[in-house]
Every structure is written in C-alpha cells, then in structure tokens.
Structure 1
Amino acid sequence: MYTNIASLLAKLDSMALYIEDNKPDCILLTETWLSSDISDSLIGLNEYTLYRTDRTSRGGGACILLKQALFNQFSVICNSKRYGNTELVSVVCSHNSQNFSLVCVYRPPGSPLVDDELLYDEIKRLCHLRSNLIIFGDFNFPNISWQNVQSQTNDDSTAQFIDMLHETNLTQLVAAPTRFRVGQEPSLLDLVLTTDLNLLGEIRHCAPIGISDHCVIETTLQYHSSSLQKHHFRKHSKIHFEGLNSDLTNTDWTSLYSTSCCTEAWNIFRNVLCDLVSRHTTTYKVKCNRTKPLITQTFIKRAKIKKQTME
C-alpha cells in the first residue's frame, strides 16, 4: 500500500489499525515528517523493518516498511537520496534469479528545476540498472492530463517529467484523483510508475488514514515465492469465550492499574486482553501453494460464476 501520510507520528494509531485490518507486506509513505531525532523504535511498528529518508527541516520525508516475513525469502538492499526538499528511498529485494525494486518519492510543490533534474536523472539511472521497478510517490503534478500524457501548462519541470517518462518507457497506472480537500478541486498527485505492467494487479483507491487528505492506494505485487510455505493463523471463530470470560473476571484489575496515566492504563489493558485472547484462541497451520500467485480464491470463485452464467 502507498499513501501521503502527512505526519506518521500523528497517525500512528490509525496506521496500526490499518495494518491490523489489511496486513500489507509492503508500505510506502510520503510526507512522513520524521527527523533524525525520531528513532525507528519510537514508531513501534514491530512487524516491519523501516527504511527512510528524512528532511532536515519540518515536513517532507519518505519511507518504505517491509514485513519481516519477506526477509525469509529475499535479501534487501536500501538506498536513499535527497535533492533539496525532494526525498527518494528505494529497496531492492532479491532471491536467486528473481528480484523487484520499490522506490518511494516525495517531490514538494514548486520544487526548483535543478532539484527536479537531479531526481529525473536518478530515476533514469534506476530504470537502466534495475528490472521489475515500481515507483510510488507524491510528485505534485496536478496539471498533467494522463489520458494523453500531456502537460496543461508551460511549466518546465512538468515538461521534463513527461519527457523522462517517454525516455524510460515508464507507465503511470493511477487514473483517478488521489487528493481531496474541502473547497478545492480533487487532483491526481500520487503516482504509480512501473517498467512492467505485469508486475502489479488492480490499482485500488481506499479511504485515507486518519485525517489525511490523500487516499490510500492499494495494489498487489506479483512475484514468485517458494512453492510451499507454512503459515500460522489465528482463527477468531475458534475463540473459547467461556475460558476467556472467566480469566477476564478473575483478573485483578485494581492492582494492575497502579498508574494515573491513561495511556499506560490503556496499554496494560490491551496487553492483558491480547495475551488472554491468544491463550484461548485455536491456531492452525495451512500450506499455501504459491507457484501460481495469480490464481487466488477470489479469482476461482469469479471464474466459477462466469462459467455458470455461460452455460
């Protein structure tokens, strides 16, 4: 998933809820508003490894978060660049003969042409060096008509950006507006660029995280993993509620709440509840055949429905 988060720290709770519901393997964020004073551990998304590039002043920033499970299959190399107030962070995930590269870019409005030229040169270099390249980012080009990939203004940066797309053979996949602000016309600022259309599934626009005015862009990355993997799932329909309710009743909450801080009290309650739910929940193992990553259960169901309607 990708979005312009407009302050990651301010939306950590909303981000954690999104991750809990959707469990994305890769997260790309722009306008993180992080600084060197903020450590990775303070962000606290423990299931993910964070790669970031920050701005020395307030605002901006880009980051990529990769789920720890990916590191069982891929080795990861990270690189980051900064051109004025434009930030770029990239990762290369490789295993044997297969690899894919993810790039996250934040280009602020009114970026100087000299910074833009350096950014475009770096994108050209990445296109030349890397296969299976996918670039997500907020490029702040609202005046490009993507139906015919033409600029509606005489801006030099916009014109050079379009020339760079043609030169590198990058394809832009987002078709609908991605930023919505009251009193302003919706605009398409967040882009997904790729060198291979077969790398990604459908581009989906989803609700923003927190009070951000940029929607979330979700898609599926198509790559081959090992043919057989074991995954552990918690099946919530198998929760033993009688035992859970008994343990909750017998918990000495008074002794646990020895703090006057509501945040600490909430963390105590959440940790106790999660621990008890884990104890009283049945877990099971499934084996997933990933030799055909395109054939999902949803695809199979829709294929059956189509077959029935044609008979």
Structure 2
Amino acid sequence: MGLIFFRGAVIIGTAYRAPWQDVVAHLDALTDTITSFPNCDNLILAGDLNIDLLDSKNTKIPVLQQFLHCLNLKQIIAQPTHFHDDQTQTLIDIVCTNTSFKTVATKHTPELGRHAMLVVEFRIKKETPKPQLVTYRPLRGICTELFSEDLTSIDWNPARAPVNVDEQVEAMTAKVLSLFDRHAPLKTVKFKGPPHPWITGTVRRMIRIRDSYHAKYKEDRSKTNLLQGHETCGD
C-alpha cells in the first residue's frame, strides 16, 4: 500500500516467510519488490519471517541484517512476539522502517493466539511545499494580426551579415526574442504549492468559461447576458 503526503511517499507492506522457505531466496525476492518502487521516501515493512532474533546462534540473523543494511532499514521490535505452550518465547514478528517513530509496544493476548500484537506510532513528517516561481510567456494573449505585421517588417539583413554561423544565430535569436518580448513579455508567477489533483483540464476550461461570462455580465448587466451565463454554466 502506498500513501502520498504532498511530495513524500510512504510505502507500507507486509511479508511472511514459511519456516521451510529458503531465507536468501525469500529476502532477494522481497528486495526486488521493495526496489520496484522508485519514489519511496518512507518504508514500513512488517511481518513474520520466522527468524528468531532472540537466538544469538541463529545463522539466519546475519542474512536478515545484511538485507536491512542494504535497504537502509532498522528493525525496531525488541520484545518477544511469539509465545509457545511450553512457556518459551521468540521474536519472529518484526517491523522494519527507515523513518522515525515515537513508541513501540508489544501486546500479547493469549485468547487471541500465540502471536503478539505490535503497535508502533510513527513520525511521518508532512512536507510543507516550498513556493515556486514559474516564468513563462503568455502566448495565448498574442494578437496574431499585429504579431504577423511586426514579423513581416523585421529586417533580417543584419542577421545575415556576419560570416560566422554562431554570430548569425545569435543575431537572429535576438530579433525573434525582441518580437516575443513586445507581444508576449515574460511573466513570473508564484505558486504556493502543487496543483490540486482534482482541478483537471476540464475543470480549468469550465472555470475560464464561467469567468468569461461573469466578466461579460459585469460590463453589460443585461438579462440576455445573465441568461446566457446560467444556460452555459448552470445555476
């Protein structure tokens, strides 16, 4: 499961390894799955890998540690998670993450089974989007007739005069930019955050149509303009 917080992504997954499955093959497959998510800022992996972390002689522990090291993950459960009938306890249920956390609790209710419930409270920081300055040319506002007249009147001879090709390109570029600076000067707009995903292209077109009818009605508050606006945009 993936969650998106502004520009940050949180991937939450579970994993289970049966006792008879090969540890290396299982962790390799798990690594392939995790690395298939390219835009992952925070990862939370929980599950039962059937590797007792309380058994210092368990040869599978170094393999798991290498897996965690390669993915920059930390296993944060320290208390027993599996309780046997003979009163022995093991730590086979784990929670691995690369994000910070506040509290970790292990709660075992015998009536519900041998496995304990793991409760972890994470600190997933909500990233505040930084304002962005976007510079563009409002090409839609160009008057094509005036633009064509000015384009036709440009004297291109000075651009052909230099022998060096680079100088010719520079001179021609300067004339073209001068033309666009006259008809579509650069504008800089400040965006406080990323665009809302629900404001689609269709919604933007509807907003422009609504605003155009509103502006038309402000200039001429006739009943005809009012009815046209209501018929087109709805009540």
TM-score with structure 1 length normalisation?
Answer: 0.36
Q: TM-score, normalised by structure 2?
A: 0.46
Higher normalized strand content (fraction of residues): 1
